Structure 1
Amino acid sequence: MDNFEHVTEPVSPTGRYFNTPLICSYVFGFLEAEIPIDDSQDLCLFKDVFLPINPRFSSIMERDKDGTMKWRKVEVRAEDHMKFPIFPESESLEVYDKYFDEYVSKILMERTPQDKSLWEIHVIKYPTSNAAGTLIFKLHHALGDGYSLVGALLSCLQRADDPSLPLSFPSRKPSQSLAPKKGSFKWFPSTILSVFNSFSDFGWSIVKSSVIEDDKTPIRSGDEGLEFQPCVLSNISFSLDEIKMIKSKLGVTINDVITGVIFYGIRLYMQEIDNKARTANSTGLVLLNTRNIGSYQSVQDMMKPDSKSPWGNHISFLHVPIPKLSQASSSNPLEFVWKAQKFIKRKRNSFTVFLIEWVLDMELKLRGHEAVAKHIYGTIRNSSVVISNLIGPVEPMALANQPVKGLYFTMTGGPESINIAVMSYKRTLRLTLKTHKGFIDEKKFKSSIVKAFEVISKAAMDMDIPNKSKG
């Protein structure tokens, strides 16, 4: 009998990168319930809403007779993928917080069986300090990137105020075009500079991925096999309105503000643990969505052959040096925001991301997907922290008429000691910190990030001249 008569499509090259012995990566989406979870509709949601989103959710990866990895349709049973953990009964939210954290740490480390579809849904019906219950979506990165998978998750949700209306998202200004203005040659010098910067950044990125490691510091142990070590998940929430006030005062973007806060917080933490680390060579690896879009498209649109934001893995990365904590930056922490703005602006007008994609494609053709996985693994291992971000809806959401209080995500599978995922929802910006247990002091690290935000916010509000930007 031919096992491949129900093959839907070949596995994409990136899908294979993220499902190798070296890298087995997952995206975790967390939905926090505002009221206790009613699981009476779980089976219907599973069969009628979640499974139909994408054929990959009811397929497994298998190698055909020619050695090509393909998605094969299989029968999916709810009991294989829906998990309902049982915690000891308690009247204390703090105790449930502990059970929840321990359970999350456990499933972050576990790999899903390869003979079943590569996802799970964990239904936590117990209350915590943050929510009345939590749904955890564990989705293998081979199924798609964060944009695809969070977009799929959002397709299961509705606006809480009016389900007939679509969810809306914060607007994003498009990058400034490099195309020349008609009748003018003013664009020429900036284009030449952009080309020079692109190749310079590209060369540095290749060297960082293969040769030069970051210094060993309180945020980077340099140990082997960190992807198999236990980790801790924690969250920090900031007011999006306050971030917008900082943004307006400094004349920068929200991304500039939060990147500056993260980098300043990292340096404060490093200094507290080891004063010499304040000037160590450390790099942030920023994961980017390479789609030329401003918001999420529907899953139906993502699945179209001519989609501008197709389903799958469309990501790249950039190396961003973490500014050193010099005496000048200690006295003026806004320098971290302005340096972030300057670097991000330069990268925005650069072709580095596409050059990196080209290199990975060439390496795939010449050496195979496991060699590319090794390249990506080395890129992460040589850096100190991985940062990614996604935008969330502006309006409150509901799942089957159950209001969603909070929304956040994280990723696993890489050899980094710190992974920071940023996501907005309603009027809150949430930083989810995945840290190496026993190496990173998560309480001190969180405290350093919060302190960085408070110091930068105060410095911005105390500025005499508004809209002063050094970018």
Structure 2
Amino acid sequence: MGSKLQIKTEYKDEDTEDEPVSPTGQYFNSKTMSVRVLGILESEISIDTSCAVPLLQELFLPINPRFSSIMVSDKKGVKKWKRVEVNLPDHVNIPNFPEGLSPEAYDDYFDEYLTEIAMKPLPSDRPLWDIHLITYPTSKAAGHLIFKLHHALGDGFSLMGALLSCMQRADNPSMPLTFPMLQPTSKANSKPVDDVGCLPKTLSVTYNTTCDFGWSFLKSSLIADDKTPIRSGGDGVEFHPVQISTIALSLDQIKQIKTNIGATINDVLTGIIFFGTRLYMQATGRDFCNSESTALVLLNTRNIDGYKSIHEMVKNDSETKWGNQFAFMHVALPALIDNKSSTPLEFISEAKEIIKRKKNSLGVYLTGQSLELIRKCRGPEVAAQFIHSTLQKSTMTVSSMIGPVEKMALANHECKGLYFMVVGVPQSLTITVLSYMRTIRIAIGVEKGYIDEQKFKSCIENAFQLIYKAAVKN
């Protein structure tokens, strides 16, 4: 791995011009913020490090010119993606741990290494990504492959699409990966428009939009959440070490809850996360059970029903194209009072109603337009400061992705598990959710030394068990 291998990926002539950096890409890689994404693949077998550089050359770099570009500013201060030659070995990291330890002992080394790379910025003088190959077995896998990518390269939809384009079905490589079907549009939404019936709906949307936009603006600029056991509220939280751990839940059991109570999978997962979070706050101190705590739920703003091919994502189509196309939705965590502990399904119902009302408004759209107005009038750095303030004044971020139904393989390394984490955000708690095969993987990133990671995991697992028992009983 010590030899130097220069790779200049060939693209079509029309792709060779420097591409402007999107506004969101500028926000995430600014003086105010540097947000990265970690994608962790758990391998069934030990990692063969010799195939890393050839695979990056043949599969990864051709996906998008941004993987062979650095971010630069022109004479007018406009940021662009500038194509460069990529020295692939510079991007490949293979740590050395002590030999001959047990998988449980390597768990600690892996966790510490994950914390270390999560907090380390990506060098700005080379393309904004790295990979890390962990060749030591842990209790969860025989080896790990970690993709570290700057969020300026794209959002979860784009980066997950890039990752999946490198994978094959383990059972039949000639067949494409498939994904869970999204919930179909309800028949009510397909009925002809009734002018009389539209009036109450229009009034409802107008009212919800006014409330949501006003509240979101105040939460982003003036009103901060309470300081709690899950929100330290200090300056520079994004520079504090983060501890990352995961919880695996049965997708079949989640679907059983969904069916029994007439909710969606997202409703169930949101309810579990919110309920578990409140249980942790209650276990730390009852005064925190009804504190002002807000979650920023990330929404994909593409009007599509699943992943598209890389060819479709790189073409100039506003609905499918590569980039950062998402928005934040402020969702207040329901308070946990005494009777909520005995009726945990009410937590899902409240979360469902809150999110339903939020979606029945144009608040997210207006917030996005306001951010764009700030960028045009005062520049991207001021807009980045506004996003930083939005994150800092809230309590937690929740984002979710859909993974394939079948087991995947990369260069004959079957993927046992898969999860991701967003790091570099000014919050003490970040939660991500990813489905893979028949499992829901909840990844938890906590401010190390402030949140008890094991206790928090236990509260999420307890919330799931309480909700499952209540749903099955019904």
Q: The TM-score by the shorter chain falls in which range?
A: over 0.9
Within the candidate set 21, 26, 39, 1:11 is matched to 21
Could you tell me how far 1:137 is from its partner in structure 2? 0.3
Once the two structures are superposed, what CA deviation does each residue of 1:134-190 show, in whole Å capped at 9, x if it has no partner? 100000011001111111000000111111111111111256686872456323312
Could you tell me how far 1:357 is from its partner in structure 2? 1.0
Q: Does 1:168 align with 2:178?
A: yes
The residue aligned with 2:200 is 189
**SS of residue paired to 2:196:** coil
TM-score (norm 2): 0.94
Over the aligned positions, Cα root-mean-square deviation in angstroms equals 1.5
Q: 1:183 to 1:388 in 2, by over 3 A?
A: closer
Q: Does 1:134 align with 2:144?
A: yes
> Matches of 1:291 and 1:419 in 2, distance apart?
23
- Higher mean alpha-carbon deviation, 219-228 vs 176-185, is at 176-185
The residue aligned with 1:149 is 159
Question: Is the 8 Å Cα contact of residues 36 and 149 (structure 2) preserved in structure 1?
Answer: yes
Amino acid at match of 1:193: S
Once the two structures are superposed, what CA deviation does each residue of 1:255-291 show, in whole Å capped at 9, x if it has no partner? 0001001111011100111111011111111111111
- Higher mean alpha-carbon deviation, 159-168 vs 116-125, is at 159-168
Question: Is the 8 Å Cα contact of residues 7 and 71 (structure 1) preserved in structure 2?
Answer: no
Q: 1:402 to 1:349 in 2, by over 3 A?
A: same
Amino acid at match of 1:437: K
Aligned-residue identity in percent: 53
Within the candidate set 123, 126, 129, 2:133 is matched to 123
Amino acid at match of 1:61: M
Question: Is the 8 Å Cα contact of residues 175 and 348 (structure 1) preserved in structure 2?
Answer: no
The residue aligned with 1:213 is 224
> Matches of 2:209 and 2:308 in 1, distance apart?
29
Q: Does 1:248 align with 2:242?
A: no
Question: Is the 8 Å Cα contact of residues 53 and 89 (structure 2) preserved in structure 1?
Answer: no
Once the two structures are superposed, what CA deviation does each residue of 1:404-432 show, in whole Å capped at 9, x if it has no partner? 11110000111100000000000000100
> Matches of 2:451 and 2:289 in 1, distance apart?
16
- Higher mean alpha-carbon deviation, 244-253 vs 34-43, is at 34-43
> Matches of 1:383 and 1:319 in 2, distance apart?
8
Within the candidate set 371, 378, 390, 1:367 is matched to 378
**SS of residue paired to 2:296:** strand
The residue aligned with 2:9 is none
Q: How does 1:227-306 map to 2 (within 5 A)?
A: 227-306=238-317
Question: Is the 8 Å Cα contact of residues 302 and 310 (structure 1) preserved in structure 2?
Answer: yes
The residue aligned with 1:354 is 365
Within the candidate set 437, 450, 473, 1:462 is matched to 473
Q: Does 1:403 align with 2:410?
A: no
The residue aligned with 1:468 is none
The residue aligned with 1:325 is 336
Could you tell me how far 1:356 is from its partner in structure 2? 1.3
The residue aligned with 1:376 is 387
Question: Is the 8 Å Cα contact of residues 34 and 405 (structure 1) preserved in structure 2?
Answer: yes
**SS of residue paired to 1:185:** helix
Amino acid at match of 2:389: G
Question: Is the 8 Å Cα contact of residues 294 and 330 (structure 2) preserved in structure 1?
Answer: yes
> Matches of 2:379 and 2:114 in 1, distance apart?
34
Once the two structures are superposed, what CA deviation does each residue of 1:109-156 show, in whole Å capped at 9, x if it has no partner? 000111100000111111111111010000001100111111100000
Amino acid at match of 1:159: R
Could you tell me how far 1:77 is from its partner in structure 2? 0.7
> Matches of 1:179 and 1:203 in 2, distance apart?
31
Could you tell me how far 1:78 is from its partner in structure 2? 1.4
- Higher mean alpha-carbon deviation, 408-417 vs 166-175, is at 166-175
- Unpaired runs of 5+ residues, structure 2, are 1-14
Once the two structures are superposed, what CA deviation does each residue of 1:40-92 show, in whole Å capped at 9, x if it has no partner? 32221010100101000000011112221111110101121011111111331
- Unpaired runs of 5+ residues, structure 1, are 464-471
Within the candidate set 437, 457, 462, 1:451 is matched to 462
Could you tell me how far 1:228 is from its partner in structure 2? 0.4
TM-score (norm 1): 0.95
Q: Does 1:90 align with 2:110?
A: no
Could you tell me how far 1:225 is from its partner in structure 2? 0.4
Question: Is the 8 Å Cα contact of residues 36 and 133 (structure 1) preserved in structure 2?
Answer: yes
The residue aligned with 1:48 is 58
> Matches of 2:331 and 2:160 in 1, distance apart?
25
The residue aligned with 2:425 is 414
Aligned residues: 459
> Matches of 1:30 and 1:76 in 2, distance apart?
23
**SS of residue paired to 1:446:** helix
The residue aligned with 2:120 is 110
**SS of residue paired to 2:253:** helix
> Matches of 1:241 and 1:89 in 2, distance apart?
39
Question: Is the 8 Å Cα contact of residues 118 and 423 (structure 2) preserved in structure 1?
Answer: yes
Q: Does 1:26 align with 2:36?
A: yes
Question: Is the 8 Å Cα contact of residues 384 and 416 (structure 1) preserved in structure 2?
Answer: yes
Once the two structures are superposed, what CA deviation does each residue of 1:170-224 show, in whole Å capped at 9, x if it has no partner? 1112566868724563233123202210221111000000111111111111111
- Higher mean alpha-carbon deviation, 241-250 vs 392-401, is at 392-401
Could you tell me how far 1:35 is from its partner in structure 2? 1.2
- Higher mean alpha-carbon deviation, 187-196 vs 337-346, is at 187-196
The residue aligned with 2:11 is none
> Matches of 1:210 and 1:178 in 2, distance apart?
36
Q: 1:120 to 1:328 in 2, by over 3 A?
A: same
Once the two structures are superposed, what CA deviation does each residue of 1:449-468 show, in whole Å capped at 9, x if it has no partner? 000000010011111xxxxx
Could you tell me how far 1:244 is from its partner in structure 2? 0.2
Could you tell me how far 1:331 is from its partner in structure 2? 2.1
Amino acid at match of 1:112: L
> Matches of 2:424 and 2:189 in 1, distance apart?
36
Amino acid at match of 1:99: Y
> Matches of 2:30 and 2:195 in 1, distance apart?
51
The residue aligned with 1:466 is none
